[in-house]
Amino acid sequence: MTIFEGNIQAIHEEIEKMTIIDTHEHLYPERECLKFDADAFMMFRHYCRFDLIAAGMKEDKIKIVFDSDAPLMQRWREFKPYYEAISNSTYVQSAHIAMERFYGENRLTDGNVEIVTQRIKDARKPGLYANVIRDACNIETCLNQGQNREEKPLFSYPDDPLLTPVSNWINNPRAYESVAGYADLLGRDVGSVEDLVDAARLHVRKVKKHGGVGIKFPVFPMSYPDMAEAKEAFARIIKDKTLWLPPENPIANVFYDALLREAQEQDLVACIHTGYWFNYRELNPSHGIFMFDHYPDVSFDLYHVGYPYVREAIMLGKSRGNVWMNMCWTYIISPHFACDALTEMLEMVPWTKIIGFGGDYAVAEKIYGHLVLARRVMAKALATKVCDGAMTLDKAISLAHHMLYQNPKNLYKL
């Protein structure tokens, strides 16, 4: 064993014992989760589904794979060739690690699809989250952006002691559709920019009232709020209900100004999605510079290290005191990128601002797969710094604890 390998092992052994704050999940309340028709394909929903699309699988075939009413073996026959094509993806690797830990098989085969399905069904009983999140992962709490079975966003999880609420993604009000969506919250139709401002404030207060610790929204190139311009743009989207304004638009400037002021008032963290997601060019982390600089008393938790705009994200952690770097989702996007990013951050960003883990999953078991990968990457990045002579082994272990526990606890005041 080399000195490097020895250091990785020593750090990894310590990380495995650590209690973790999981800073980002999309879990259903356990009671809702238990009502789903569970089967082996449940392990490959969500991100693996996007891999299937990337492998060329057509939507009608994907529907069959995830249709719990279709015969199991027919679903497997559709899935199998594309499953093989995506077998190198870390999304799949993470699912396999979880499947092995909880259901005893490290990949699906002709011979075990039915067995794994039965084991998954058998596990769907009260206590599932405690078994997975608390006992297998050693997670103290998950900051959760959850939904019910009808996919309606939730603000609280009164029956789930392991879930701490963070608001769901707050839409940029750039089209009639997204504006009209605020009627529920407001209790009336959204008829003006003033109504939208009310909705923004109400949203933040509602999150706070239910014990939430953060509000989440996508980054966008914000600019100075101008009510007259916002009213003019509002009139245009009311007139043409198919019109989509660009992400940088005067309505959003006024809306997010209200949201961020209220977040500051209520002492909530602004959780900001950056990078990877549909039109990721709109989600470049550097788009956030205006809001980071004009709301200096708001703490921004910058998610996903802006992949693929990684260095732009790290630069923000380096240059702004109110921007934290959150590694959620990263280790399953690519452990290689995550390791490089974390190593670079350890050379650039105050360690007090690095948030180590968020599973970013809707299926609890898969958090375990992500966490196994995260521990390996963190141990490797920290061992690199020990071998470089930049820190002692003890310091590296202490930083791991801070990234996985103390830093998120401090940032979110848990």
Q: Is the peptide bond before 165 cis (omega within 30 degrees of 0)?
A: no
* Cβ contact 66:49 at 8 Å: yes
Total residues in contact with Zn ion, by rule CB under 5 A: 1
Q: x/- binding map, residues 12-51, to Zn ion, per CB under 5 A?
A: ----------------------------------------
Binding mask 44-83 for Zn ion (x = CB under 5 A): ----------------------------------------
322 and 409 in contact (C-beta within 8 Å)?
no
Q: Could you identify the residue written with the tokens 């977040």?
A: 263
Per-residue contact flags (x/-) with Zn ion for residues 307 to 346, judged by CB under 5 A: ----------------------------------------
Min dist CB 24 to Zn ion, Å, is 6
* Count, residues in the chain: 414
Question: Does 360 engage in binding with Zn ion (CB under 5 A)?
Answer: yes
Whose Cβ is closer to Zn ion: residue 32's or residue 360's? Answer: 360
In 3D, which of 275, 281, 287, 222 has the Cα closest to residue 251? 222
Q: Is 160 in the site for Zn ion (CB under 5 A)?
A: no
Residue 398 CB, nearest distance to Zn ion (Å)?
28
Distances (CA, A) of 161 to 116, 122, 130, 246, 412: 28, 23, 9, 40, 17
Residue nearest to Zn ion (CB): 360
Question: Directed axis angle between helix 193-209 and helix 250-266, to 10°?
Answer: 30
Nearer CB in complex with Zn ion: 290/337: 337
Angstrom distances, CA of residue 212 to CA of 130, 154, 203, 271, 306: 21, 11, 11, 12, 24
Shortest CB 26 distance to Zn ion, Å: 6
From the list 146-154, 215-223, 359-367, 376-384, the region that binds Zn ion by CB under 5 A is 359-367
For residue 165, the SS3 value is: strand
Residues 6+ apart with CB under 8 A from 315: 286
Query: What is the smallest separation between the CB atom of 204 and Zn ion, expressed in angstroms?
Result: 19
Of 230 and 283, the one with the shorter C-beta distance to Zn ion is 283
Between 96 and 216, CB nearer to Zn ion: 216
Residue ranges binding Zn ion (CB under 5 A): 360
